[in-house]
Amino acid sequence: MGRLGLRNQYALTVCGVNLVLLVLISLRYLHVPASLYKLIVAAGVAYVTLGPLVFLGPLLPFRAGTLRTKTELMSEVAQRLRIELQRLRKQLSAGQITKEDEELVDRLRKIGGLIDELPVWPFDAGTLRKLPHMSSP
């Protein structure tokens, strides 16, 4: 999945750089007819419109698999946590809860939190909400 997305991103980057160079060179060094500027604008609009589709489109089939894997991992952790909490509930009345028991429950909660933070590409609303926070200093 990473190779596919990266390969598409390389192609999009090359196209984008070529488009920027075309605009800069045609405006600065060449005297071209107005119809060519319309063609350059059309190429820019096509790039902005089709670029996300070319990048995200091939990644969409992987979304269901990543969601399924994430759900399975969370289910396993939740089942283990449920078993441990039931066991601890029985021990609670007898006052036999140990430090190791507390650490195990804490560790399971942390693992669940890490799994919950796994992104699901190509679109994950949680990841997109984090992006503005990640880019600010």
Residues 44-83 pLDDT 10s: 898 888 887 777 777 777 777 778 888 888 888 888 888 8
CA-based Rg of the chain, rounded to a whole angstrom?
A: 26
pLDDT over 70 (residue 129): no
Length of the chain: 137
Query: In the prediction, which pLDDT does 24 show?
Result: 87
Q: b/e map of 4-35 (b: 16 or more CB within 10 Å)? A: ebeebeeebeebeeebeebeeeeeeeeeeeee
Q: How far is CA 8 from CA 3, 44, 46, 53, 108, in A?
A: 8, 18, 16, 10, 38
